[in-house]
Amino acid sequence: METPILLNRFRGLSLIFLALLALGQGALAPASAVTPDEENNVSVYKERSGGVVNITSTAIGYDYFYNPVPTSGAGSGIVIDKKGHIVTNNHVIRNAQRLEVTLSDGSKWLANLVGTDPKNDIAVISIDSPADKLSPVPFGDSAHLEVGQKVLAIGNPFGLQGTLTTGIISSLVRTLRTEEGVTMENIIQTDAAINPGNSGGPLLNTAGELIGVNTAIFSPSGGNVGIGFAVPVSVVKKIVPQLISKGYVSHPWLGVTVQTLSPEIADSLGIKSRKGAIVVQVVAGGPADKAGLIGGQRTVRVGNTIVVVGGDIILEMDGKPVEEAQQMIRSISEKEAGDKISLVLLRQGKRLDITAALGEAPR
């Protein structure tokens, strides 16, 4: 007598299950549909991947017996005009005896070095390709970027040509030290996957405009861990015309090494000023030396910090307080060789006003 009841309950549950299944299926998007964000990814890739090239560099090394051994490396590059100019990283083409560029259509072209700027890890090379084979990537604006903004990277990681990755801007105004020991300012940090081979490729905004040149990753393993860096396009805009016209960049130079004056250091040294830049060293014959700046003469320990004291402390530059050493260096980098700057110094407890003419940094 209980069997019909059990069957009826089973049929009721089955109907409920089928109804829920049908409801769930109705809520799912069709398999062929893409979201607006995915559409943007597809659109940017289709429009800009043709402007991203693969660069293979060949250098000559020597083995234990001094026999010449060719070594090769690979990276990415960005077509910037119809004349065949391509922007990439300096470290991609450094020491190369031969450069070969592979366009998105698979054609290969020998490339010539136009100019390099190790300070910003940027280089320009060129190929003699028909204009109709080149798809320049338009420059965007990096002055108004926001943390959290979506970005896209196209490159050739591990030799896999034409790879797209996406992410966000993780941070701005980062400081990055290159393999040569050069400090790069105002660097963009992103979590878009960047791996070996992505160097020199574009970091794009959602409009497909260039906002940075991918240059480095932080990785204990050598692979992507979500911390990548890019040179902002504002820097690229400034230096590329110089690289094309004369092969190098004229960087402004004061000729000093400076260290931040923190409140802790000021207290320890008995200095009333709470902020500034301590002049550690003055390059003989440099602009600062000619202007009369004095470097440190001895070292003292303040907590865990070694401080070089006895020299000038820069309190102001061009009428603005110097908050820290890097801020002062950053401000100088935005000027031109030959520009004059006004400095307010603290020397042996007295304030002193001087003017210095910036020189051109040694190459």
| Segments forming the whole domain that contains residue 221 | 150-246
Containing H/E element for 17? Answer: helix 3-27
**Angle of CA points 200, 160, 80, to nearest 5°:** 35
- Residue 18 in any domain: the answer is no
Q: Which distant-in-sequence residues (6+ apart) come within 8 Å of 161 by Cβ?
A: 54, 102, 104
- Residue 173 in any domain: the answer is yes
- Residue 161 in any domain: the answer is yes
Residue of 152, 134, 144, 140 whose CA lies nearest to 209: 140
- Residue 329 in any domain: the answer is yes
319 and 226 in one domain?
A: no
234 and 156 in one domain?
A: yes
- The alpha-carbon radius of gyration of the chain (Å, integer) is 28
Residue of 151, 157, 159, 154 whose CA lies nearest to 191: 151
Which of 246, 267, 301 terminates a domain? The answer is 246
Contact 275, 321 (CB under 8 A): yes
Residue of 95, 51, 87, 49 whose CA lies nearest to 235: 87
Which of 246, 263, 287 terminates a domain? The answer is 246
* CA-based torsion, 268, 270, 273, 277: positive or negative: negative
The number of distinct structural domains making up the chain is 3
Which of 191, 217, 246 terminates a domain? The answer is 246
Q: What pLDDT does residue 164 have? A: 94
* CA-based torsion, 351, 357, 362, 363: positive or negative: positive
182 and 96 in one domain?
A: no
Query: Distance of CA 170 to CAs 147, 187, 189, 228, 243, Å?
Result: 6, 11, 5, 9, 30
Q: What is the 3-state secondary structure (H, E, C) of 173-211?
A: EEEEECCCCCEEEEEEEECCCCCCCCCCCEEECCCCCEE
Q: What pLDDT does residue 287 have? A: 96
Q: What pLDDT does residue 7 have? A: 41
Half-sphere exposure in the Cβ direction for 18 (13 Å, CA): 6
303 and 261 in one domain?
A: yes
Residue at token pair 């250091």: 265
The three-class DSSP label of residue 82 is coil
> Could you read off the pLDDT tens digit of each residue along the chain, which spans 363 residues?
444 444 444 455 454 444 444 545 545 556 567 899 999 999 999 999 999 999 998 876 666 666 666 666 789 999 999 999 999 999 999 888 899 999 999 999 999 999 999 989 999 999 999 999 999 999 999 999 999 999 999 998 877 778 999 999 999 988 887 766 677 888 999 999 888 888 999 999 999 999 999 997 765 555 556 788 999 999 999 999 999 999 999 999 999 999 999 888 888 888 888 899 999 999 999 999 999 999 998 888 888 888 888 899 999 999 999 999 988 988 998 899 999 999 999 998 899 999 999 999 887
172 and 127 in one domain?
A: no
Tell me how far apart the alpha carbons of residues 104 and 106 are, in angstroms, rounded to a whole number. Answer: 5
- Residue 316 in any domain: the answer is yes
Q: CATH number of the domain at 94, please.
A: 2.40.10.10
- Residue 85 in any domain: the answer is yes
Q: CATH number of the domain at 278, please.
A: 2.30.42.10
124 and 166 in one domain?
A: no
Q: Which distant-in-sequence residues (6+ apart) come within 8 Å of 4 by Cβ?
A: none
- Residue 354 in any domain: the answer is yes
76 and 125 in one domain?
A: yes
339 and 278 in one domain?
A: yes
Active-site residue numbers? 91, 121, 199
268 and 304 in one domain?
A: yes
- Residue 328 in any domain: the answer is yes
